[in-house]
Amino acid sequence: MSVQKQTPKATTIVSLQKLKKEQQKFACLTAYDYCSAYAVSSNGIEVILVGDSLGMVIQGHDSSLPVTVEDIAYHVRCVRRGNQGALLMADLPFMSYYSEMQSLESAAALMREGAQIVKLEGGAWLAESTKLLVERGIPVCAHMGLTPQSINHLGGYRVQGRDPARAQSMIDEALILQNAGASILLLECVPVDLGKRITETLDIPVIGIGAGMHTDGQIMVWHDLLGLYPGRPAKFVQNYLNGNANGIQSAIADYAQAVKSGQFPDEEHSYT
């Protein structure tokens, strides 16, 4: 055990909005437990996501669908204890926000455990839930593009918004969610151009994963950053531990630095 590092200045929704205004990029990473949360938040990462990806990377399921609010709540509790000032975002899992009232109850349960913002997958249909949550003091991150909870509907983990009509409706729906009060948009697996258009259109910060190099922030799954998840990694993944002689803390810091300097992602990690 070593002496704990000093807590860095806490990230808030307001500080992320300021970064967007100043055109400064920020880095986000998932974490699911005390030590990873400590390492992530002490090495330059602004946002920690307790993602429902835990269904795959922690629980070993083949999708995020089996994850429950209780599962997310447990991991939020663990992460909260290790977090050194990153904004703590938590996923509302599959079927935990099918109605407006249910979204309020599920989100409240996660906020009580220490989440500071909740993420919901979907487009314009979430406008009323977003409004309800925001009016009651629960910040919302909208998640659009590839939404893994709809994997059975989408027919696979595919790039979304390649068709111009769908791209335009994604922009329109992102604006609807911003107007409903969403504080952040997370955009997954869309072509570079669409990532750029949405980021430029919205006033709120846009976090990308497989959405090109123009978004305000980038996010990666902890197990992908460290090359822990079996199988062939997605195009947008980079293993920062590979060849890094200084270990996990250094891999996190290198990723944060690469995002902030605009080195990651590049064309090799993006869809055209």
Task: Give the type of residue at 135.
Answer: E
Among the listed residues 188, 200, 267, 268, the single catalytic one is 188
**Residues 235, 269: contact at Cβ < 8 Å?**
yes
Give the shortest CB-133-to-ligand KIV separation in angstroms: 18
CA distance 167 to 145: 9
Q: Is 70 considered catalytic here?
A: no
Element (H, E) at 75: helix 69-82
Residue 71 Cα distances to 2, 51, 134, 183, angstroms = 30, 10, 23, 24
Of 20, 25, 48, 51, the one binding ligand KIV (CB under 6 A) is 51
Q: CA separation (Å) from 18 to 14, 129, 161, 205, 230?
A: 6, 26, 28, 9, 38
Is 206 among the residues that bind ligand KIV (CB under 6 A)? Answer: no
**Is residue 219 a contact point for ligand KIV (CB under 6 A)?**
yes
- For ligand KIV, the nearest residue by Cβ is 51
Chain centre distance of CA 219: 6
Q: Check residue 216 for interaction with ligand KIV (CB under 6 A).
A: no
Q: Please tell me whether residue 237 adopts helix, strand or coil conformation.
A: coil
52 binds ligand KIV (CB under 6 A): yes
221 lies in the site for ligand KIV, by CB under 6 A: yes
- 49 touches ligand KIV (CB under 6 A): yes
- 148-187 positions binding ligand KIV, by CB under 6 A: 186
Measured from the CB atom, the residue of 173 and 224 that comes closer to ligand KIV is 224
Using the rule CB under 6 A, is 47 a contact of ligand KIV? Answer: no
**Contact residues for ligand KIV (CB under 6 A)?**
30, 49, 51-53, 91, 186, 209, 219, 221
